[in-house]
Amino acid sequence: MDFIKIILKPKKEESLKRFHPWVFSGAIQKIVGNPNEGDIVDVYTCNNEYLATGHYQIGSIAVRVFSFEKGNADYNFWKGKIEKAYQLRVALGLAENPNNNTYRLVHGEGDSIPGLIIDIYDQTAVLQAHSIGIHLIREQLAKAIKEVLGDQIKNVFYKSESTLPFKANIQVEDGYLMGECDNECLAMENGLKFHVDWLKGQKTGFFVDQRENRALLETYSKGRSVLNMFCYTGGFSFYAMRGGAKLVHSVDSSAKAIELTKQNVEINFPNDPRHEAYAVDAFKFLDEMSDKQYDLIVLDPPAFAKHRDVLRNALQGYKKLNAKAFEKIKPGGILFTFSCSQAVNKEQFRLAVFSAAAMSGRNVRILHQLTQPADHPVNIYHPEGEYLKGLVLYVE
């Protein structure tokens, strides 16, 4: 098959030679052929030297590279990639673990498959496409998941309506590519159980990336009064309860999230009077709560900056939010504070939290610097993949 050729402008090959997996539209000199979105294209220097192969898409990222070697991206090629990703999760002790059946099987560029996310919840794989190229091969990917993971997987759910840009010529519909589940499946993370609503929930249904940070929180929870702000389905709350917290208050502005949190707490700790959940706006709750009510606070807000152009506002948002926690947390309290905005880097986030601490005038020490877990690996050539940042702070 004759591939479509993308020819770069002079000197624009440098980042690809350093294995960065994106080609920006501004770097392209000429396109030989007439690619449709999602087509597989080869990228060349202006001197006709082969560089890489990837999926073509109209937009600022024109090619998402999945290989730096010329070859056929057929079913076996994709199956090989899924196999490698799976072997890593087995090596990490996440797959085939009776205590934990929730993990990320494929993390986009971090697993050299840009545009693809696969999360595993017990016997269901939730596949999410962030590019048209991945959308077009979804059936092959579902088949590969089934072949590599065997009987561990019964269902593959495709969830991309919210992640793919609308295109008149491409139909994206969420639904099962394989099997079907009545959505009554219970997933398990570190021995704790929870419902995952991949049909209607955020992302693929659960925030898999906070697993290790939740486990760390558990170790700080004994005897503490815990506020889990932006709780979503309650992940941090049930770890705090298992860790021996005195009380746990979960807060989220979404009533649906609060319902799910209550349900999940009930599954793990039936009739436990230590837990209360509130569907309230975070800023309102923090304004109205009394001083020294909590001595362990989690702040895990949604991405305040989805793009670079709103960075300033996002940093102000982090500062304002953290300032409220510093102002009110009990002396000797612990603050777990996060940012999942890709556009905000570690240093910028730390500076925002630093400014918030300074406003309170309190003595604050950094106990841990947190990030995403190893099943969300960062491709060393694609530092943008490191998106989750967290600090654990001791507030005197």
Give the shortest CB-374-to-ligand SAH separation in angstroms: 18
**Minimum distance of ligand SAH from residue 252's CB (angstroms):** 5
Rounded least distance, CB 219 to ligand SAH, Å: 17
Q: How far is the CB of 297 from ligand SAH (least distance, A)?
A: 12
Name the E strands within the chain.
4-8, 22-24, 28-32, 40-44, 50-56, 61-67, 102-107, 116-121, 124-129, 155-158, 175-178, 186-189, 192-195, 225-229, 247-252, 275-279, 296-299, 333-339, 364-370, 389-395
Task: Write out the H or E segment, with its range, that includes residue 346.
Answer: helix 346-360
Q: How far is the CB of 161 from ligand SAH (least distance, A)?
A: 19
Beta-carbon count within 10 A of 380 CB? 9
Q: Quick one: 284 or 365, whose CB is closer to ligand SAH? A: 284
Residue 318 in contact with residue 352, Cβ under 8 Å?
Answer: yes
Residue 65 corresponds to which tokens in the numbers above? 């590279």
Select 86 or 206, whichever has its Cβ closest to ligand SAH.
206
User: Cα dist. 302→47, 188, 226, 231 in Å?
Assistant: 45, 23, 20, 10
52 or 286: CB nearest ligand SAH: 286
* Residue 215 or 282 having the CB closest to ligand SAH: 282
Of 343, 90, 362, 376, which is closest to residue 210 (Cα–Cα)? 376
State the Cα–Cα distance between residues 379 and 386, nearest whole angstrom: 9
In the complex, minimum distance from the CB of residue 328 to ligand SAH, in angstroms, rounded to a whole number: 16
Query: Which residue type, as a one-letter code, is found at position 264?
Result: N
d(CA 301, CA 318): 9
Q: Which is nearer to ligand SAH, 28 or 185 (CB)?
A: 185
β-pair partners for 28: 8
Minimum CB separation of residue 370 from ligand SAH in Å reads 13
Q: Are 355 and 320 in contact (CB under 8 A)?
A: no
Smaller CB distance to ligand SAH: residue 106 or 217? 217
First and final C-alpha spacing in the chain: 66
Give me the least distance between CB of 378 and ligand SAH, in Å please.
Answer: 20
Of 56 and 236, which CB lies nearer to ligand SAH in the complex structure?
Answer: 236
Is 235 or 385 the residue whose CB approaches ligand SAH more closely?
A: 235
CB-wise, 44 or 207, nearer to ligand SAH? 207
Minimum CB separation of residue 101 from ligand SAH in Å reads: 17
Tell me, letter by letter, the H, E, C secondary structure of 170-219: ECCCCEEEECCCCCCCEEEECCEEEECCCCCCCCCCCCHHHHHHHHHHHH
Which spans of this chain sit near ligand SAH (rule: CB under 6 A)? Answer: 207, 210, 230-233, 235-236, 252-254, 257, 281-282, 300-302
Residues 6+ apart with CB under 8 A from 169: none
Distance CA 244, CA 239 (A): 9
